[in-house]
Structure 1
Amino acid sequence: MSVPVLPGLSALVADHPYIICDIWGVLHDGEVAFPLAVDALCRARAAGAMVVLVTNSPRPAQRVAAQLSAFGIDQTAYDGLITSGELTRHHLQAHFTGQRFFHIGPDEDRDTLAGLDLVEGADSDDADVLVATGLFGPDLDAHAALIAPAARKGVPMLCANPDRVVRDGGKIFICAGAVADVYEDMAGRCGGWASLRRRLMRPAIKFSAQKPDNQ
């Protein structure tokens, strides 16, 4: 049985009018965009498809959209954008309003937490929830020492980026998912990559179920 060779993504639109597409490694590599992939999405939309982009980025959707724009990927290529960071914000606001959080990650990720009705704790064991968006340095052992007191108290962790590593251009960087693995081994309570991936796909599927003329 031969495998058909398709002329492009747009050839699938008649039978598959909703496309959920990853971003990192598919549309860009952290340094440059992949023009052929972007063009394929544009052609699919022109053929009638609805395109929803999803990403494990721990940052809000607005910031990721700005990053895409800087790569030359504008909204002619997609209809919707869902990020792990945006879902993390919604989860924190829905379940931890007024409570204390402890952030694990670089300062550049703090916009994920900006404007939420939460209080930042000074130490990990002084928090009601840990929020891991990334690493503040390359040493995982240092992170383990920082979060060990919270693990002993059974404080839950929400991992805003379930990726363990990411390739940025030609370099490999450790991501928050690696910290979540360490914490899960310690405490057994972490909203790790599997649960967050499910939370990422559900709104993407829900968005895709909308009719384009109802947006």
Structure 2
Amino acid sequence: MIAGLTDIIDKFDTFILDQWGVLHNGGHAFPEAIAALNLLKAHNKKVVILSNSGKNSAFSYARLTESGISRDLYLDVLTSGDHMRDNFNSGKFKTLGQQALHFKWEEDDTVLEDCSVQSVATAEQASFILCCGVDRGSVEAYMEDLAIACRNNLELVVSNPDLVAMTPEGNLKTCPGAIAMAYQKLGGKVHWHGKPQKEIYDMCKTLVGGWGNAIAVGDSLEHDIAGANGAGISSLFITSGIHADKISNHASIEKLAKQYKVAPDFYIDWFKQ
């Protein structure tokens, strides 16, 4: 347990920050997080935001500014959506065809143009599933489509692997990763992007020009901490995020870490200086 970043700031040259649950929960930025970012800037640390967002980094720049986090407080942003778009544009998914059954958040169709694919109305018409949102509200609302897709041996590409995210009101909402997980359990093939995939940490390292000692900060044991462990870097677990209702003391954190088969190096209640 650490009291704040001051306890460990001299150990690391690069801080890889999750966005939701660390800097904000979809609303205004946490005041302590802004202070922590200012501390990192004052110590000339490289700060990159690594987010399991299906949107691209340009959207994140705007979202962070709206939340109250100024652009000069971080070096750059890399999202799971960037990771996915890069794979489409490099030709990795050319064998999937271009007919996407698109699961989305209501307002977001830009990904279709970004990935050079088009949306179709039904699973029977699709050559693959592009899973970027949960506008139907629950995984159950997608099961009929998933069953048809699985029978037709369609592959699923997911832009955001998170299962849930915290809302500004403190509730948990279902994320695209939960649909992808359900499809995988049916026997369908899933192409995952973002944390904890090692590939995105390699992209992150290139983006910031390399590092000597890096630490990843996040509230998801399954994504942030597992990703850091897999990439061979240190990790700081934020206990006030998506696992908060299961945490009461150090023993409960150890129990959760064993459950997820991860090992955070440090933990703290909030991201703060």
Bin the TM-score by the shorter chain: 0.7 to 0.9
Q: Name which of structure 1's ranges 125-134 and 17-26 shifts more when overlaid on structure 2.
A: 125-134
Which residue does the alignment assign to 2:27?
Answer: 31
Which residue does the alignment assign to 1:126?
Answer: 125
Structure 2: 5+ residue runs without aligned partners? 212-273
Which residue does the alignment assign to 2:143?
Answer: 144
Which residue does the alignment assign to 1:49?
Answer: 45
Judge conservation of contact 2:80–2:194 (CA < 8 Å) in 1: no
Separation of aligned partners in 1, 2:44 and 2:31: 20
CA deviation string 1:136-193 (max 9, x = no partner): 2124222010222211121111111111111102222111111111111123311247
What letter matches 1:116 in structure 2? Answer: C
The CA deviation at 1:22 is 0.7
What letter matches 1:135 in structure 2? Answer: V
The CA deviation at 1:21 is 0.8
The CA deviation at 1:19 is 1.1
Which residue does the alignment assign to 2:186?
Answer: 186
SS of residue matched to 1:126:
coil
The normalised TM-score by structure 2 is 0.68
What letter matches 2:12 in structure 1? Answer: H
Structure 1: 5+ residue runs without aligned partners? none
What letter matches 1:207 in structure 2? Answer: L
Equivalent residues in 2 for 1:168-207, closer than 5 Å = 168-169=167-168, 170-192=170-192, 197-207=197-207
Separation of aligned partners in 2, 1:115 and 1:160: 12
CA deviation string 1:124-144 (max 9, x = no partner): 243332111121212422201
Which residue does the alignment assign to 2:89?
Answer: 93
The CA deviation at 1:26 is 0.5
The normalised TM-score by structure 1 is 0.84
What letter matches 1:206 in structure 2? Answer: T
CA deviation string 1:39-81 (max 9, x = no partner): 2122212212111101111111111110110011111210010
SS of residue matched to 2:109:
helix
SS of residue matched to 1:147:
helix
Judge conservation of contact 2:80–2:193 (CA < 8 Å) in 1: no
RMSD: 2.4
Gap change, CA 1:194 and 1:85, over 3 Å in 2: closer
Separation of aligned partners in 2, 1:35 and 1:149: 47
Higher relative contact order (CA 8 A, sep 6+): 2
Separation of aligned partners in 2, 1:103 and 1:128: 11
